Structures are given as C-alpha cells and as structure tokens.
Amino acid sequence: MEHNYYLGLDLSTQQLKGIVVDDKLKQIALEKVDFDADFPAYKTVKGVYANGKEVQAPVAMWLEALDLLFTRLGKVVDLGKLHGVSGACQQHGSVYWNTKAASTLGNLTESQSLKDQLSPAFAWDLSPNWQDHSTEQECQQFEAAVGGPDKLAEITGSKAHHRFTGPQILKVKHKMPQVYDATDRVALVSSFLASVLAGQYVDIEVSDACGMNLWDIANRQLHPQLLELFGDKEGISQKIGPINQATAAVSKVSAYFVQKYGVNPDCAVIPFTGDNPGTILSLPLQANDVIVSLGTSTTALVVTNNYVPSPLYHLFAHPVSAGSYMGMLCYCNGSLAREKVRDAVNGDNSGDWTKFNLIAQQAMEQGKVLGSNSDSECKRIGFFFPLAEIIPSVDSCQHRLTWRGDAVTHDDWPADADVLGILESQALSIRYRLTPMLTSADRHPRRVYYVGGASANPTICAALTRVLVPSGGAFRVADMSDACAFGAAAKAAHSAVGGQWEEFIAQRTDSSTFASVTVPDGSRDSADSYSEAVDLFVRSEAQCFKSD
Ligand code: XUL
C-alpha cells in the first residue's frame, strides 16, 4: 500500500529541523539546518544576537534555512508524497510583517529565494527571542492592568514574563514606534513559518497564543484590558489577527514549494504550535501524565483537564484536545545542581556517577525518607540552587534544614546526605506544584516519562519516582531530542484522519521501547512514602524564602 507522508518542522533557537513520517508515524527522513554553521554570514551565536538584556534573531536567516531544509529533504525523500505539514517552534518570539507581506506571500515565484522575495515584507528584520529579558517595564504594566500577577495568571495562564509576546510587542510600540506603526501583522514564530508554507497569513494557534500574556484562556478572547495597554484596541487586535482554535488544515501548501521542491500540491498546512506543546504530542499521554525533562534546567509538562492557574507555573491550551490543558513548570536548576553534589561526594571533578548512585541506591534500599527511617527521627530538607531559581523566584542560594518535630535548625549535613536530599527536594517541588493540576482520584500522576540528559541515569529516575508515586509507572525515554518536530508531524498526520487524539497517538506508539523505572525499596514501591514530606517541604520553603 502507498503511504502518505507528513512533515513536522521545528524552528528552534539554533536549528531548523524537519521530520517526515508515514501515516503510522514511522520516521522516513530527518534533516537539519544549523544556523551558526550553515549561515556564518549572519554571525549569530547559538542562533541569536545577544546584546545585554536584548536577545534577537534575524528573520531572513530563518527564510534561508527553510529553502536549505527543503533542498536537503528533497534529496532524501519523495516530497510528492507529502500530504500534510505542521510545525512546533520556539515559543514567545514575534515577527513583524509589513503591508507588503500578504501580497508577497501570495505571489512567491520559484525562480527566486524566499529571503530575496520576503525580506522587503518585514517591518523589522529581527525577532525578539524567548531569552530576551528587556521588558521589565511592560511586564509591570501587564500585571497592573488586571490587578497583579495572580490575576494575570488566572486570565492568561501565566504571570507576566519578560519573554512573553504581549510585553515584547508593547516594548516595540514604546521603543520603536515606527516599526509598530509599519506592522500589518505580528506573527509568533509558529504562525510566521506556517504563513510562509501556506503563502498567506496563517492565524496564531491557540496553544502557542497562551505564551503571549494576552489570551484570556477561559473566555477564548484577547483580553480587552490588556489590549488597552496598546492605546488602540482595534489596531492591536488587527495586528495580532484571529486566534485559531481548530486542528483542521488551514490551506494547501504554497505553489512555491510545489514548483521548487516537488511538494504534493494537495499537501495541507495544519496550524503550527510551540515547541513545548509540540513535545507533549510526541508521547502517548493521557490526562495526568507527566513528562519530566532532566536537562541543564528542569521542566515538567503535564496534561490536565483542570484549569488551576498559578503565578508559579504556566498553563497552555492543549494543542490538539479541546478542553484539555498543558501545565508547565520551568526550573532553572537541574543538572548543574546535581553535578555539584556528585563532585562533592567524589571529592574530585571526574564526573563519575558511581558513588552518587550507590549512596542514593543504599538510602532507598534502607527506606530512608528525608534522611530518616521513622517518624520519630529528625528530617532533612535542602534547597540546592547554584543558579538563581524561578520556582521559587530567588537568587542563587543553598539551605539545609533539619526538622525535629516542629523545631527547625539550619545545620550543615555530611555531603552524602545531599545525594538523596537533592533528588527529594527537586521531586517534592514538582509534586507539590503538580498536585493541584491532577484530577486522578489519588491526586498522583498516572505515568511519568523522564527525558533529557539525566534520564539516562536509572538511579536518579528511581529516586524521583519514589517521590512522585505515579499510579501507572515511570519510564525513561531514550532520545527525545527530536520530540517536538515528531510531535508536529504526528499533529499533521492526525489532522488527516481526525478522531480522538489520545487514541491516535497510543495506537501508533511502541511503548515497549521505553525503559521501565524500578524503585529499589521493594517493600515500599507501591506505597506513598512522601505524603507527609510534602507538608514539611512547603514549611521549609516558607522558612527559607519568606517573601515568595
Ligand atoms: C518556554 C520557553 C522555551 C522556548 C524554547 O516558555 O521559553 O522553552 O519555547 O524554545
């Protein structure tokens, strides 16, 4: 049988990636363009220009990258079989189209490059990047407009963040009024790329719109009081355009890609989303399932039907399942903090995890929880933030608390106690903040999937699992580096057949490739050893971070 192919694009900070899958989601091809290496003329460093608090990327470079990616893909796969394309792109970035854009997009000719044709169609040749943190003033205005961070989080799913697109657009209006005035449409990176593929403006997609601090999630509209900040509510609404809440195709692919690269003229363009929402589409997740990414930073993504916003995390509309949400916890501290503990117990910088793992393993086998075996013993809770932390919002610091009943002292412990201590502390923070989003009867996750660098370490995953107590098991997923491009390809393939997303992805995933995580203390592995520890953790945070 002839298979249809689907393309998922990932326009991230440093690369543009494309994955082609068939209708069973089997990978057919993967090609990448690396911005710094493939386009040295732009002189970007890790894909961006960083200048103090401002971090931006040249839009023309992305257009060159798109032509190069299609050239590379065309050499390895028959693009005539493509029936759909979607994308998952870096979140929050904005692209400023001018009034020439709509007609230029609609009249692209294959005899010229995208860059040559579209460069005159931008009001600004740069795109503010998610690493930009130059919008303090605008963030304050956003929160003040609705009555504070809690209220803004309640409305938009997040308190104000420097990188979020609403404050970024407002800064453009303040600092570069000529750019703002010349802007016909503000796109997110996702809707920008979709527009180039479609040869026409493609609306911003609802899940990615939740990264703007402008979208009123419950009432499904751009929030009027926030639009007021721009002085001209009508004007800014038109520049942003409608928000697309559908999963169906928005158009066929532009003739440019058909004539130049042989893409099937019936290839549909399906709304592109953000990279984090794209990531949750790469695994067979159901409500209450969690992805924990153990990289330089720590990220936890949860699928939930509970809209319980908080200034401490982000909530986004689910990119496919209407009425469902994605919760996201973003911590700055992760690997570096664990590596510091590892080096301390090793007494050197060898980077060897053997001793760290052995200590953690023994503590778990002995049934230790917060450094103790019984309720009568003292309990230890530590905070290990070698980098300034977002959750809670504090400068770089370290705390070691010893609780004896209700009395607490700030002691130093032997280095060995930090091993399980740091893993417990990282997991308790996730557990405490995830719980309100979970709808399971026991308020525990169903499944936990570990991804990212430290997911290769079964002991670390076991210690975290012991705290999170998922009812349906925990799994280490080997390679997730292409997850959001794959998720986008899956979204495109799903759009062609429709039906329930959870069923679609579950039927096409071989879960036997995931490594099951085993918690070593057999006697306790089905029990919840940490139910009381959560309360002590919250009290410890209050002790150390009083103002948060
Ligand atoms: C999420 C965020 C980053 C970017 C990375 O809020 O800022 O994860 O999406 O591409």
Does residue 73 or residue 373 have the better pLDDT? 73
Q: Provide the whole-model pTM.
A: 0.95
| CA atoms of 500 and 503, how far apart (whole Å) | 6
- What's the CA-to-centroid distance between 281 and ligand 1, angstroms? 16
Question: Which numbered atom of ligand 1 lies nearest the CA of 211?
Answer: 6
* Strands (DSSP E) found in 112-246: 126-128, 185-188, 204-205, 215-216, 221-222, 243-244
pLDDT in tens, 185-216: 999 999 999 999 999 999 999 999 999 999 99
Phi, psi of 415 (to 5 degrees): -55, -35
* Phi and psi based region of residue 184 (left: phi greater than 0; alpha: psi -120 to 50; beta: remaining): alpha
Both tokens assigned to 257: 């890609």
Nearest CA to ligand 1 atom 10: 90
> Ligand 1 in contact with 316 (CB < 6 A)?
no
- Please tell me the predicted confidence (pLDDT) of residue 525: 44
In this predicted structure, the answer to whether residue 316 has a pLDDT above a threshold of 70 is: yes
Which residues contact residue 72 at a Cβ distance below 8 angstroms, ignoring those fewer than 6 apart?
31, 33
- Average pLDDT for 297-325: 95
- Please tell me the predicted confidence (pLDDT) of residue 547: 54
In this predicted structure, the answer to whether residue 314 has a pLDDT above a threshold of 50 is: yes
Question: Which numbered atom of ligand 1 lies nearest the CA of 13?
Answer: 10
Mean pLDDT over the full length of the chain: 95
- Please tell me the predicted confidence (pLDDT) of residue 178: 98
- Please tell me the predicted confidence (pLDDT) of residue 523: 53
> Ligand 1 in contact with 207 (CB < 6 A)?
no
Decide: helix, strand or coil at residue 130.
coil
- Please tell me the predicted confidence (pLDDT) of residue 527: 77
- Average pLDDT for 257-262: 98
- Average pLDDT for 275-281: 96
- Please tell me the predicted confidence (pLDDT) of residue 390: 87
Tell me if 241 sits within 8 A of 204, measured CB to CB: yes
- Average pLDDT for 261-280: 97
pLDDT in tens, 529-548: 999 999 999 999 999 997 54
* Dmax (CA) of the chain: 78
Does residue 390 or residue 215 have the better pLDDT? 215
Which residues contact residue 180 at a Cβ distance below 8 angstroms, ignoring those fewer than 6 apart?
123, 169, 172, 173
| CA atoms of 370 and 373, how far apart (whole Å) | 8
- Please tell me the predicted confidence (pLDDT) of residue 304: 97
| CA atoms of 101 and 120, how far apart (whole Å) | 8
> Ligand 1 in contact with 476 (CB < 6 A)?
no
Both tokens assigned to 62: 């992305």
Which residue's entry shows tokens 């956003």? Answer: 142
Residue of 13, 35, 92, 205 with the most ligand 1 atoms within 8 Å of its CB, for mutation: 92
Count, residues in the chain: 548
pLDDT band at 296 (very low <50, low <70, confident <90, very high): confident
pLDDT band at 224 (very low <50, low <70, confident <90, very high): very high
Nearest CA to ligand 1 atom 1: 91
In this predicted structure, the answer to whether residue 526 has a pLDDT above a threshold of 70 is: no
pLDDT in tens, 465-493: 999 999 999 999 987 889 999 999 999 99
Nearest CA to ligand 1 atom 2: 91
* Strands (DSSP E) found in 452-501: 474-476
Decide: helix, strand or coil at residue 532.
helix
- Please tell me the predicted confidence (pLDDT) of residue 520: 86
Nearest CA to ligand 1 atom 7: 130
| CA atoms of 154 and 393, how far apart (whole Å) | 19
